[in-house]
Amino acid sequence: MAIEFVSLDTIIYDLLYIIEGSQVSQSISITTNQIENWIHQYRALLIKQDLDKGKIVNPDYVQEIQCMKLIVVDKSEDSTIQTGRLLVRSELQVPKTIDLNFRSGFTYIGTLDGRELDFVPQSRVKWQKEKYYTQNSPLVYLKNGYLFVDNDHVIEWLCVRGVFELPPEVGNFVNPYTNTPEFTISSKYPIPINMLPTLKEMILKKELAITVGSPSDTKNDASNIVTPNEREK
């Protein structure tokens, strides 16, 4: 049965296999942590290049934090809080999204029952509150790495989706219903399968000066294994 997605550990060990079979392995020690760092860096680069062209966000770029716990904080953390309003923020810092031109890296912020909330830059919060049609609406903004919600009642949980810079940071959040992290090394890695050969080729060539042949997937297991040629002189 074919695998339906590619995990981070699959990509790491595919690259490690190629590196160990090349001349570079004889002169330098490559750790799995270093390979993982390269994977995240080049994924972010490829996604930013794609989305800065104005394209619709590919769902394969997106990760979801299904249940982000919120805690009540003192109103002194926001001088614009009005009478009758309450302020809550995410218990943990939110993974940084990939910087995109003209739009947020968040694709959805809302309640667990599917009600989307307005996300605004912190600099626009005060202005947004003064608008007639939105002054009583819940507002979500990012401050010091935390998501804040300004509302007339306490919201305890958020569902958050986004194009995050470091996918493993989503694993800091644990789903309270399943008691499992929202991301592990064996989870689906947030990148389209057809982008994997390019990502691997960039890592091998730019970081290790290894040239690669045409991508081959002889096992038909969606891993997009890339075979090495000789190292560049």
Q: Per-residue pLDDT for 79 more than 80?
A: no
Residue 89's H or E segment, with its range, is strand 86-90
Residue 102: alpha-carbon gap to chain centroid: 18
Domain boundaries, given as residue ranges, for the chain: 8-58+190-231, 63-181
- Mean pLDDT within 136-160: 90
The per-residue pLDDT for 215 is: 47
The per-residue pLDDT for 201 is: 96
- Tell me the pTM: 0.83
Percent of the chain at pLDDT > 90 equals 58
Residue 219: pLDDT band with limits 50, 70, 90: very low
The per-residue pLDDT for 217 is: 43
Residue 150: pLDDT band with limits 50, 70, 90: confident
Q: Per-residue pLDDT for 98 more than 60?
A: yes
The per-residue pLDDT for 102 is: 78
The per-residue pLDDT for 100 is: 85
Q: Per-residue pLDDT for 132 more than 70?
A: no
Q: Per-residue pLDDT for 90 more than 70?
A: yes
- Mean pLDDT within 2-10: 80
Q: Per-residue pLDDT for 224 more than 80?
A: no
- Mean pLDDT within 197-214: 87
More confident residue, 176 or 129: 176
From residue 79, how far is each of 75, 76, 85 by CA, in Å? 7, 6, 12
CB-based contact 39:12 (threshold 8 Å): yes
Q: Per-residue pLDDT for 193 more than 90?
A: yes
**Tokens encoding 199:** 């990502």
Angle at the Cα of 203 (from 200 to 205), degrees rounded to 5? 105
**Tokens encoding 42:** 């080049």
- If 0-12 CB within 10 Å is exposed, 13-18 middle and 19+ buried, where does residue 218 land? exposed
What share of residues in the chain are helix, strand, coil (percent, to 5)? Answer: 30, 25, 40
φ/ψ region of 145 (left if φ > 0, alpha if ψ in -120 to 50, else beta) reads: left
Q: Per-residue pLDDT for 178 more than 90?
A: yes
Q: Which of 75-84, 85-94, 156-165, 198-207 has the lowest mean pLDDT?
A: 75-84
